[in-house]
Structure 1
């Protein structure tokens, strides 16, 4: 079974980076930048040898009688050092051997020059010429990046050699001996201290860089964990709606540019609500996990993608060549879930096991082809599968009169819905968790056919968006909300779901302002709920429209956060008044990991400064949990079911949460 999102959070967000011990740090420090040190040491030795050889000029000027011997010594030591170093370098010897070669070159270079130079008859010149020996001491401590101990050893040998040589000038004035001796000792102490300080500073720089690297890696890992969080379903571990949406875009682009056909399938667990009500939410979650795993096995050979589309609905994407292959895969999915034999005794269709209905759509060339069209066609096929008795699959057929008529009938119905009073609004309370009062209501649209049959919003809203009827329905809904509840102050605030199509339409904010002016309602009494969907793109027109609505005082809410459509980028770009967390996260709180997941999401939203509304509260336990989490508002059947406007016009006190034993919950 795949890791759930809570597992990902536990593993990635909460783990601590490895902190090495002192010995490990010192080893890393020696290894850090070793290639650079080797190159710089090589370059430094070449420069030092060249300078060393050029000192033959002072040899000729100051000790001409032994200049031949000093020059030969210089050539021998210099060339020998370079040859030794180059051989070790090309043999890729350890850096410590290269450093040792440089230290030895300094010592032998000093001794190799000093011994023949001491044989000169011009002792006066030599007594002053010896001062240049301090260069070798400084070279060991400063000019090469030798480790402190090695540099001190090399410079100490130079210092001792100097004092031995100085004893040959005992006939000189004691002031000379004291001055030169003090100078050499001072050089030794000073350059050794500087070398120690430089090595210590290099180590500190390494530690700071290492700590910064750890923090950067930690931030990157947390960023990747958050990315997985935003792309993974918290229950099943499958891709969530956001991730599958991106994959759908990739599939669509490949079809448009490269002609790679694909199928999109919507899969719904049959009678899942009855399963949940009978066996409980934990068993319901277990059922969804088992179905998710079975679907993953079913599509393994087709190399497709699978995600949870919300609730008990899944989506499958697969690159296939023909419609027949799509129909075959849809049937394989149905039979795979059926073969699980998971008991479901509450069904009333003669079947006693868990099954699924599958609606599939296949890419086809037609006028006005859009990305969301294939999902709409899969949804229509799923509706047809359910209407055919469930536990079956249907492949959308544009030539099927039944499918075409259904869509066309709804489209035609929407054109007359407002004039014929076929569309209406019901309102679901939004309750303040702290006070227990109803602070707002959400307007929900309902549609009935001419014979009085109800049409599910999941069916007519996509048709309304596809045909553009959503624009007239949206204006009607806003105006109706104002007239039914806001003009006479029956409720403080009403939230209205706004389609992305409306936000994209030029002049939408102006039309809202006209409705507010006509009804005399303040914009602050309205909240618009927006949801990022397939047809929603974050471009300047939408952002400008949202800004204009905020100027009117209208509150902007983010709906269904966590399902995939509500991306983290929206929280960054828009200053939402309230964020509604999808009900699935609350229902997953039956497990500790599900509860941890909800707390992480609440923390993420709260840190952004938004108010939090959680929907789907259906039990006392869930309401009590919301109090413990200090949620601002809740919505759900436990605190209020959708009701007509008349229910909110009664002259009573503001509705509150139900009482238990005389104490307010």
Structure 2
């Protein structure tokens, strides 16, 4: 059976750029530069062209008035035409054609009046300057190769037509000056070709550089977005919310701008997963997340996934009443989705949420974690009040565990103050009686030296998130104490479901292994079967990532909860640790049969069997008879510090 969901539309717009678009962008930018270059070039060419009025007067004075007048007419028409086209924003090709036409008109407008001179000898030498028009077409202006060749070809043809018609008797002249013109044509056209190729290559290289720059920027933006986005729901992740929390905290401390934190929990979500399956569970979280996002962001807040089925909201709070109205709107929005949930133990048939709210106040403390903790306590009260409701943190109300609450600042500073340590209990191989591994066990003491039971401080560390830093510290310390010194071949460390749900946990383990220079196959992480991990997709993905590093995954306390068989089916554990209660119950036949059945089940699945809690010689003898692989317990070895641990 599948739950029914409303349609939720996500953002569909994306910004992208292709290499072709990068080329077009550069061509558009280059177009503006070429317009200015063509304009300046034409004005310079016109100035040079008109300056040749003086040689006209000296060399061919009899026709100079006509040639000079022609020069000014051609210059005026060329400039007026070009400026008109430029102001009309004509394409660059038309501006180039205008400049090319001006070159031809200038050459022909001077040449044909000039050949009417009586001083044939002077004119025959003066004609050599016609090559300047060819050079202008090929080298001075940035014409395309085709346009430059056409223009210079007209100049070349006009020259040969002129010397054939007006200088027919001088073959030496024709040969010498003809070779000169042809050489100019070939060489300048070749240079023009290379300049065009070079310009094209520069454009392509610039486009490639721009495209790569955009691509790198886009990758950076995508990676940043990915690092701040929850991969399942697509909303902000805990890292992004932590940054926002820090910003709001600083603004409140410096400027007195109040803000509120909501912790939102999907009610009875484990039962939803068990009833509909984890794919439907993931889909439910995604739909709820998008619905919450629409409500929160429209009110100027920021929402993210806090972990598992919990969400966190951070937003400015003008007044508590406005914020509580938004919280009620959030609660009703989830109700409005009407996602079926017929496995709830209460009377509600749909998915609902419980919300805890905490506001900035005078005695909230010096760290932002305090307000999150207060929102968590308010959420606890909401759940205790029947769920599908909102509770605001009230410092006068009793807390779930006042004694445990005193541990919060202690756990935060435990590593820096060296109040936390590890001891190691050996794990023996029954085939040869040798210790091949140790289990790292965390110990905490108060500043006065009083020991704190793990049963007391571990749940508090999980609720406050302190377990994340403590857990990484435990893994790195165990690697340094045991693996780097080769005291044992393998060390196992217990991990919390909070750690497995935390984004980047597998990456942090990989970083620790790399820094310590040890193989992942020497590290084992123990997950407790009795813990409510729901086999959520992020937990399974994290376990898969850890296995890819070579890290062994052990199932701890098998038989202590209700999800053991589901875990065995979903995950391939290298080792399964049987809970100590089954060994201790072997004093009666029924208990012995239960242990034998459990051992047969694990052995048939091919897992290594480890029984913990061995406290007597009789228990050890029984386990040898059952051909158990490994054992652990006070009878075999007490937990000791790394310095007191003997190498295997």
**Does the 8 Å CA contact 2:265/2:310 hold for their aligned counterparts?**
yes
Q: Secondary structure at the match of 1:493?
A: strand
Q: Which among 503, 507, 514 is matched to residue 563 of structure 1?
A: 503
| 2:61 is aligned with 1:64 | yes
CA contact (8 A) 2:266 2:354 kept: yes
Mark the CA change 1:491 to 1:575 in structure 2 (over 3 Å): closer, same or farther: closer
Q: 1:479 to 1:52 in 2, by over 3 A?
A: closer
Give the Å deviation of 1:483: 10
Whole-Å Cα distance in 2 between the matches of residues 422 and 52 of structure 1? 91
Distance 1:494 1:151 in 2: 79
The CA deviation at 1:107 is 0.7
Q: Does the 8 Å CA contact 1:254/1:260 hold for their aligned counterparts? A: yes
- Structure with bigger RCO (C-alpha 8 Å, 6+ apart): 1
Q: What displacement does 1:561 show?
A: 8.6
Rounded to whole Å, the distance in 1 between the matches of 2:112 and 2:482 is 110
Q: In 2 relative to 1, CA 102–488 (structure 1 residues): closer, same or farther, beyond 3 Å?
A: closer
Note if contact 1:357-1:393 (Cα within 8 Å) is conserved in structure 2.
yes
Question: In structure 2, how many angstroms separate the alpha carbons of the residues matched to 1:397 and 1:233?
Answer: 31
Partner of 2:394: 397
Given the alignment of the two structures, is residue 121 of structure 1 paired with residue 104 of structure 2, yes or no? Answer: no
1:149 aligns with 2:89: no
1:337-486 → structure 2 map (5 Å cutoff): 337-338=334-335, 340-348=337-345, 353-366=350-363, 368-400=365-397, 402=399, 405=402, 410=407, 443=441, 454-455=455-456, 457-460=458-461
Distance in 1 of aligned mates of 2:534 and 2:384: 30
Query: What are the residue-to-residue correspondences of 1:234-253 with 2, within 5 Å?
Result: 234-253=231-250
Report if the CA contact (8 A) 1:443-1:494 is conserved.
no
Partner of residue 491 from structure 2, selected from 490, 493, 496: 493
CA distance in 2, matches of 1:274, 1:438: 40
Q: How much has 1:492 moved relative to structure 2?
A: 2.5
Structure-2 change in CA distance of 1:428 and 1:460 (3 Å): farther
2:92 is the counterpart of 1:95: yes
CA 1:639–1:96 in 2, change beyond 3 Å: closer, same or farther? farther
Cα separation, 2, equivalents of 1:478 and 1:184: 82
C-alpha separation between the residues in 1 aligned to 2:28 and 2:411? 73
Distance 1:83 1:245, change over 3 A: same
Q: CA–CA distance in 1 between the matches of 2:348 and 2:128? A: 105
SS of 2:90's equivalent in the other structure is coil
SS of residue paired to 2:263: strand
Where does residue 308 of structure 2 map in the other structure? 311
Instruction: State the match for 2:642 in structure 1.
Output: none
- Listed one character per residue, the Cα deviations across residues 428-449 of structure 1 (whole Å, up to 9, x for unaligned) are 99xxxxxxx9977564679999
Q: Residue 616 of structure 2 aligns with which residue?
A: none
Contact 1:426/1:643 (8 A) holds in 2: no
Identify the match of residue 223 of structure 1 among 208, 220, 223. 220
User: Please, what TM-score do these two structures have when normalized by structure 1?
Assistant: 0.67
- CA–CA distance in 2 between the matches of 1:287 and 1:98? 63
Distance (whole Å) between structure 1 residues aligned to residue 167 and residue 229 of structure 2: 86
- CA separation in 2, counterparts of 1:136 and 1:293? 70
Instruction: Tell whether the 8 Å contact from 2:307 to 2:502 is kept in structure 1 after alignment.
Output: no
Listed one character per residue, the Cα deviations across residues 71-110 of structure 1 (whole Å, up to 9, x for unaligned) are 2222222232112211221222222221111111111111
Superposition TM-score, scaled by structure 2 size: 0.68
| 8 Å Cα contact 2:63-2:116 kept in structure 1 | yes
Structure 1 counterpart of 2:156: 159
The correspondence for 1:77, drawn from 70, 74, 78, is 74
Cα contact 2:259–2:315 (8 A) shared by 1: yes
Displacement of 1:144: 0.6
Decide which structure has the larger Cα Rg and report it: 2
Deviates more, 1:40-49 or 1:375-384: 375-384
Aligned counterpart for 2:36 among listed residues 36, 39, 43: 39
User: Cα offset for 1:145?
Assistant: 1.0
Are the equivalent residues in 2 in contact too, given 1:236–1:288 (CA < 8 A)? yes
* Deviation of the 1:183 alpha carbon: 1.1
Change (3 A) 1:450 1:660: same
Check whether the contact 2:19–2:208 (CA below 8 A) recurs between aligned residues: no
SS of residue paired to 2:257? coil
How much has 1:496 moved relative to structure 2? 8.3
Q: Aligned to 1:314, what secondary structure does the other structure show?
A: strand
User: CA deviation digits over 1:183-205, x for unaligned, max 9?
Assistant: 11121122222222222332233
| 8 Å contact from structure 1 (residues 446, 455) kept in 2 | no
Residues 625-650 of structure 1: CA deviation (Å, up to 9, x unaligned): xxxxxxxxx79xx8558989x99xxx
Verify: 1:588 aligned to 2:537, yes or no: yes
In the alignment, structure 1 segments of 5+ residues that lack a partner are: 430-436, 498-528, 532-558, 625-633, 648-654
Q: Aligned-pair distance for 1:487?
A: 11
Partners of 1:173 and 1:90 in 2: how far apart?
A: 49
CA distance in 2, matches of 1:493, 1:658: 22
**Structure 1 residue aligned with 2:612:** none
Q: 1:365 to 1:267 in 2, by over 3 A?
A: same
Q: Does 1:183 align with 2:180?
A: yes
Once residues 276 and 228 of structure 1 are traced to their aligned partners in structure 2, the CA distance between those partners, rounded to angstroms, is 29
How many residues get paired?
550
Q: Deviation digits for residues 481-540 of structure 1, max 9, x if unmatched?
A: 99999999576335589xxxxxxxxxxxxxxxxxxxxxxxxxxxxxxx9x9xxxxxxxxx
* Matching of residue 261 in structure 1 with residue 248 in structure 2: no
Q: Tell me by how many angstroms 1:53 deviates.
A: 1.5
Q: Check whether the contact 1:242–1:565 (CA below 8 A) recurs between aligned residues.
A: no
Superposition pairs of residues 527-546 of structure 1, within 5 angstroms: none
Q: Deviations over 1:575-625 (max 9, x none)?
A: 5867999x99984389xxx98xx89x969x99xxx777889996456446x
2:490 aligned counterpart, secondary structure: coil
Rounded to whole Å, the distance in 1 between the matches of 2:242 and 2:37 is: 53
Preserved contact between residue 78 and residue 109 of structure 1 (Cα < 8 Å): yes
